[in-house]
Amino acid sequence: MPPAEHARLAAKLWRLGGIYVYRDGIRILPYGNSDVDWLDIERNRTKSATYYYWSYRKMLGAVELTREANHELVEKAGREGFQTNKAYRQFRDILKNFFIQIAADFFRESGTKTHIYLERRAELDRAERARRKRETLATNRRKKFVEKLETVFAEFDQKRPESQATELVAHVNRELGFAARETSTDRAAALMVETEASAKLQLEGLRERYRIARPRDIGLGRQITRDWEAYLRERERLEQEVFAPTEKQITETIGEAAKRAKLQIDQRRRLQAILGKVADETQKEVKKQADETKQQSNSTAEQVTTLTREAVRELQDTITGVKADLQRIDIGQLSPTEFEQLENQLETRIDSVARRQREVLQRATDRLLEVNAAIAGEEFSESEMTGALEEELLSIREQADANAELVQLGMALAVVNHEFEAVIRGIRQELKRLAAWARKNEGLRPTYEKIHDNFEHLDGYLSLFTPLQRRLQRREVLITGSDIEKFIQDLFGERLGRHSVELSATPAFRRYSVTGFPSTFYPVFVNLIDNAIFWLDDKKRDRKIHLDADTSGFLICNNGPAISDRDRAAIFELGFTRKPAGRGMGLYISRQTLRRAEAELLVTDDKQWPVCFKIATNPTSNPNSDERDN
């Protein structure tokens, strides 16, 4: 069983486990109580768990009796169990021997049915050990891969590739300075050729330093995959903006230096020098890898030879031992039953060894076939296909966990909303009754008015959530920017003031409109404004949220910290968040909700605002919405 399910069931059995007794459908106490081991199951287990097998607190069963068929079992006067008469002693002995015999037949090594249990247990145990081994290996490799990514990202953040490329160009210029002071033109030309070849080799080493290979035989999971894709984008940017321009600059610098020095560099010699350096370096690397591969191949061949030799030897030794045992047994003195048992025992000894060795050799053969397929150039190895399946499994697990959390959150909110509605109705009714008293009692009136005002304030807040409930509005309505602005001011006005955040909206925003359910669009604005207020706290002053619109949708911008390129695509994924103690659900749910309404939530670029989200819609009535009034 899965560990979580096993733990859940074990906890239940600890409270409920045991052998119960029912007669005519009515339970007889105390049989079945966890502290009444009336069949001595737990007592026997303390003597030898491997011999008696059963555990009273990890089993659940019932004995069904009838008064007609079991009339000699007589209950005690207090109905606390049966009287200890002959029938009860026989009844109890039958059950005790039943469990002893079942253990002997199925769970002891000499049992007649033991192979069913042992084979199944061995399969489950092997599968579990294989799963744990795979999980350990995958976790370790995944951890090393993440560490490499983090190291590279740290260097990217520090602009190390750019500074190293700059240093390399500076080194080339220094070397060219030395070459320019050479009196011999041939020597100067040779130095320039050598400098170029060496610089390009160093540049290639710089490229290699920031090149990471993705492990194809393990699943990465959503977060690591996201980081990997961010790394690929950054590496492509480095190639286009740093490495390729640096290589071109080195070539042009050396060409200009040669031209200024009026040196005639032999282009063939120049190319040969560059290729020679590259060839020498690559030959070293490939030869080193070839030696390691050959060494591993020889080691594997030795292991395979030893494995096959040991398999044949162990089977032969077993057969020899069985034959020797057979010679010492007097077959003529055995009964037919004993002869059959002896035959089964000796055959089982040989078969068990043969089966185990066949499995070992088959596994070795499968691994060698996989290696041969890889050498032969198969497109995908078994390990790569396993990695792809593991990637899918991790994604499904993450999605299932997130969906479970969403379901629980939705159920909790539904319960809270229901309870709020009931409480509000009750308070409103009681306030009406209290109003009559307050009109006749001057001393009570100030207290009543204060309670009434606070209640109205609370009721006003709760009424803001009415548009968020789809069930309250079955038809789509026209939603304008001015409606949304009023909703935001009503909901966040006090909080905006408390955090010194300025909210502004352009005429274009107020005029822009869309037809849809308020429960689709309003929560998106709630989430975006809530996030903006949180991140604007990082600014000491001048905190602004700006609402605007263009021809295709609403714009919600702020001047808080910009979203990094690494996080830009990730912020809409379920579970991703940079907010402390955040759940990473808001933007994901907002985007999914809008997509069902054929709209889209995305991050857009705006020169004036560091952070700008866009709710792209199909507008129905937005005159002059192309004007971006400020």
Say yes or no: 484 and 601 in one domain.
yes
Say yes or no: 603 and 495 in one domain.
yes
Domain residues for 316? 303-379
For residue 386, the 8-state DSSP code is H
| Residue type present at position 598 | E
The reported pLDDT for the residue numbered 430 is 82
Say yes or no: 483 and 458 in one domain.
no
CB atoms within 10 A of CB 142: 17
Number of domains in the chain: 5
How much of the chain is in helix, strand and coil states, percent to nearest 5? 70, 10, 25
Q: Is 400 helix (H, G, I), strand (E, B) or coil?
A: helix
Domain end, chosen from 345, 379, 413, is at: 379
Cβ contacts of residue 155 below 8 Å, gap of 6+? 161, 210
**pLDDT(92) > 90:** yes
Inside any domain, residue 199: yes
Inside any domain, residue 117: no
Q: CA nearest 200: which of 163, 172, 175?
A: 172
Inside any domain, residue 288: no
Inside any domain, residue 359: yes
Angle at 108 (CA atoms; ends 102, 109), nearest 5 degrees: 145
Q: CA nearest 600: which of 535, 530, 520, 546?
A: 520
**CA distance linking residue 518 with residue 593, whole number of Å:** 12
Contact 521, 559 (CB under 8 A): no
101-115 average pLDDT score: 82
8: confidence class by pLDDT, cuts 50, 70, 90: confident
126 vs 24: which has the higher pLDDT: 24
**CA distance linking residue 79 with residue 70, whole number of Å:** 16
Say yes or no: 20 and 68 in one domain.
yes
Say yes or no: 427 and 482 in one domain.
no
Say yes or no: 214 and 261 in one domain.
yes
CA of 524: how far to CAs of 576, 591, 592, in Å? 17, 8, 10
Q: What is the pLDDT of residues 177-214, one digit of tens each?
A: 877 777 677 777 777 777 877 888 888 888 888 888 88
**CA distance linking residue 59 with residue 61, whole number of Å:** 7
User: Tokens representing 565?
Assistant: 């390129």
Please name every residue paired with 613 in a beta bridge, in sequence order, or none if there are none: 556, 603
**CA distance linking residue 253 with residue 247, whole number of Å:** 10
Say yes or no: 481 and 507 in one domain.
yes
Sheet holding 26-27, edge to edge: 26-27, 18-23, 60-65
**CA distance linking residue 36 with residue 28, whole number of Å:** 13
Q: What is the pLDDT of residues 518-543, one digit of tens each?
A: 878 888 898 899 889 988 887 778 89
Say yes or no: 495 and 449 in one domain.
no
Q: Which CATH number characterizes residue 482's domain?
A: 3.30.565.10
Give me the percent of the chain exceeding a pLDDT of 70: 83
Say yes or no: 10 and 91 in one domain.
yes
Say yes or no: 374 and 403 in one domain.
no
Determine phi and psi for 400, rounding to 5 degrees.
-65, -45
Domain end, chosen from 265, 291, 325, is at: 265
Say yes or no: 525 and 574 in one domain.
yes
Q: What is the pLDDT of residues 148-162, one digit of tens each?
A: 989 988 888 888 999
**CA distance linking residue 289 with residue 151, whole number of Å:** 25
52 vs 389: which has the higher pLDDT: 52
The reported pLDDT for the residue numbered 411 is 58
629: confidence class by pLDDT, cuts 50, 70, 90: very low
630: confidence class by pLDDT, cuts 50, 70, 90: very low
The reported pLDDT for the residue numbered 459 is 63
Contact 550, 628 (CB under 8 A): yes
**CA distance linking residue 31 with residue 73, whole number of Å:** 14
**CA distance linking residue 611 with residue 415, whole number of Å:** 36
Domain end, chosen from 209, 236, 265, is at: 265
Q: What is the pLDDT of residues 436-483, one digit of tens each?
A: 888 888 888 888 877 876 676 566 555 555 555 554 445 778 889 999
Inside any domain, residue 161: yes
Q: What is the pLDDT of residues 550-578, one digit of tens each?
A: 888 999 999 988 888 778 777 888 777 88
The reported pLDDT for the residue numbered 619 is 43
338-355 average pLDDT score: 80
Q: Is 112 helix (H, G, I), strand (E, B) or coil?
A: coil
If you search the block for the tokens 């899965």, which residue do you land on? 2
In the chain, how long is the greatest CA-to-CA distance?
124
User: Tokens representing 38?
Assistant: 């009336």
Pairing of strands 611-616, 600-603: antiparallel
The reported pLDDT for the residue numbered 505 is 93
Q: CA nearest 161: which of 206, 191, 119, 117?
A: 206
Please name every residue paired with 603 in a beta bridge, in sequence order, or none if there are none: 613
Contact 544, 559 (CB under 8 A): yes
Say yes or no: 610 and 511 in one domain.
yes
Inside any domain, residue 76: yes
